[in-house]
A = this chain, B = another copy of it.
């Protein structure tokens, strides 16, 4: 049976999530880098791997080609053994995690990625100018979402987003929340619970967390606190 092949670029938040997850859980896999900066995801060769032409994606036994990080995590949970806390079999706990994974699509992921793209990526890739009014609007949406996580998900005294053990929800969330740091935004400023939680996620998954975020730490300006590597 052929080994799980993982296609990724660490500039992509869900790529980092799955990288950290596969490494931390010691799931055997083959690394297949896809350089987004060089447009490797846009080639016909890669299209044969993933028809959506995005990373992350996997190719696994029985020639399964699978995209969408959340779908990949669910597939891995069925096919590979890892500690239950990552994606609990308990129906109610799993429901709570699933609820976050869907909610984040239009919240954490949407707002952090949009801000990063508008402020950092598009000006560099396409030479677009930043409109201060639009920037403020996108920043506010991000602040509102992070405030909700601080007050609701972390407000009850949980150590992690769903209960006291780390789950895939934490990894997805942390990787998204790291992204706007590159655009000079500090998501933890004024959010003590988020600060402590981000540090916990990092501790549990290091050295892989820092490895995956090396580029984020390097690109983020001096004004944004980050670990010294």
Query: Residues on A close to B: CB < 8 A?
Result: 51-52, 62, 64, 66-71, 74-75, 78-79, 91-92, 94-96, 98-99, 101-103, 105-106, 110, 152
CA separation between A74 and B79, bound complex, in Å?
Answer: 18
Contact A66 B99 (CB under 8 A): yes
12 contacts between A and B (CB under 8 A): A51-B152, A67-B103, A68-B99, A69-B102, A70-B98, A70-B102, A74-B98, A78-B91, A78-B94, A79-B91, A105-B105, A105-B106
Q: Majority SS of interface residues in chain A?
A: helix
Contact B152 A68 (CB under 8 A): no
Q: How far is the CB of A150 from chain B (nearest CB, A)?
A: 14
CA separation between A102 and B110, bound complex, in Å?
Answer: 13
Partner of A102, one of B51, B64, B68, B103: B68
Q: How far is the CB of A144 from chain B (nearest CB, A)?
A: 13
CA separation between A71 and B75, bound complex, in Å?
Answer: 15
Q: How far is the CB of A50 from chain B (nearest CB, A)?
A: 10
Instruction: Report copies per complex.
Output: 2
Known A-B contacts A66-B95, A78-B91, A95-B64; the reply to A71 vs B102 at CB < 8 A is yes
Q: How far is the CB of A13 from chain B (nearest CB, A)?
A: 13
- Give A14's nearest chain B residue, CB to CB: B102
Contact B51 A103 (CB under 8 A): no
Residues of B within 8 A of A66 (CB): 95-96, 99
Contact A103 B152 (CB under 8 A): no
Contact B95 A74 (CB under 8 A): yes
Known A-B contacts A92-B62, A92-B64; the reply to A99 vs B78 at CB < 8 A is no
Contact B68 A91 (CB under 8 A): no
Contact A98 B51 (CB under 8 A): no
Known A-B contacts A51-B152, A152-B51; the reply to A75 vs B102 at CB < 8 A is no
Q: How far is the CB of A9 from chain B (nearest CB, A)?
A: 18
CA separation between A78 and B74, bound complex, in Å?
Answer: 14
Contact A71 B101 (CB under 8 A): yes
